[in-house]
Structure 1
């Protein structure tokens, strides 16, 4: 009981002490001036420096597909080619074979690319698709050049040029002649297969 009375007295004293706040004079403290607002000049500096991104440069960046994308595209185009051959749609099949060859060129599978270009070229000749035949001959020539067969590459380009002349295609003739000059000025063309084997041999030599 004694402790309870002491606790009640302490609580009453604390209440009376805290209730004296209304007697304080809050008008006597010093009032300082307001802090001026900071001006944000970042936008003005950006306009002055004119740091703009050139979107045209981004649009012209080369697109390099991943290995997974190439494999997916290969399966899709292969199924389309098989479908066309099954139903004897030889025209679309010729273009699918060319697409497969382009995928194999990107994967550096040049022997397979050469085979599919040959099949596409054979069908396009039978279909009298001269534009596609010219395109196949040019692409086939570049693949043969990568494989180191410069003589056959020149022969394919010559045949493509004659076919373009026979069908009145001056733009194709100009494009083919540029390719022929490119091959003639790069007679020391090192095949991609040799480059790959040379790297492997160099690594083997270093390991020894």
Structure 2
């Protein structure tokens, strides 16, 4: 009986010794602190917030055939009205608008015809400036399409009118345009010669 009691006490002591480990303060193991994510981009946005920018860049669209026809019809309507009431200065302005439109569309024959109308109505209304400007414009247009001799003659005729009407400033300006026409003619002849030489070399 006494031995049994001693064994009981020994077993309790061993149990208490083993359980005493739970009462001891176990030091916590601290793992390295996780580094924060790179916030450079976030900070940059915070310091410089994004702003939407309105780009008002002009977009140039080519005019369609329909809009050109509408413009031509409107000019023609005004032209008929001015001619009906013999409003020649206004008619010349309408002619100029038509000429600009036709040159943009490469309708050179019609542009030339309306330049002749400006010259005609300029003479009819004794508007020497309109006559000279019409002849100069006609000459430059002919030069652009390769009619160099006719262009030169139109400019010379306009120069004669300037001398007769003492329009010396316009005469000096026409001299400059004559040089431009001559330069175009020379450049065209030079290109023709070069083309002929290349053709002959290929042929040979």
Q: Is TM (by shorter chain) over 0.5?
A: yes
Equivalenced residue count is 141
Tell me the TM-score normalised to structure 1 length.
0.56
Q: Which residue of 1 aligns with 2:198?
A: none
Partner Cα separation in structure 2 for residue 172 and residue 96 of structure 1: 23
In structure 2, the residue matched to 1:151 is: 149
Unpaired runs of at least 5, structure 2:
1-38, 50-56, 189-204
Pick aligned residue for 1:77 from 75, 78, 91: 75
Q: Which moved more, 1:165-174 or 1:125-134?
A: 165-174
Which residue does the alignment assign to 1:87? 85
Tell which deviates more after alignment, 176-185 or 145-154: 145-154
Shift of 1:164: 2.4
Alpha-carbon distance change, 157 to 82 in structure 1, aligned in 2, over 3 angstroms: same
Within 5 A, what are the aligned runs for 1:79-158? 79-158=77-156
CA gap 1:158/1:92 in 2 versus in 1, 3 angstroms: same
Q: Root-mean-square deviation (CA), in Å?
A: 3.3
> More relative contact order in 1 or in 2 (CA 8 Å, sep 6+)?
1
Deviations along 1:31-72, whole A, 9 cap, x unmatched? xxxx9x767368xxxxxxxxxxxxxxx9xx9x8862455433
Task: Tell me by how many angstroms 1:162 deviates.
Answer: 2.2
Q: How far did 1:130 drift?
A: 1.3
Q: Aligned partners of 2:73, 2:63: CA distance in 1, in Å?
A: 15
Q: CA deviation at 1:169?
A: 3.2
Which residue of 177, 188, 196 maps to 2:175? 177
Match of 1:40 among 47, 54, 77: 47
Larger radius of gyration: 2
Which stretches in structure 1 are left out of the alignment for 5+ residues?
Answer: 1-34, 43-57, 191-208
**How far does the alpha carbon of each residue in 1:75-98 deviate from its partner, in whole angstroms, 9 at most, with x for none?**
221111111112222332122122
C-alpha displacement of 1:167: 3.1
Residue 167 of structure 1: aligned partner:
165
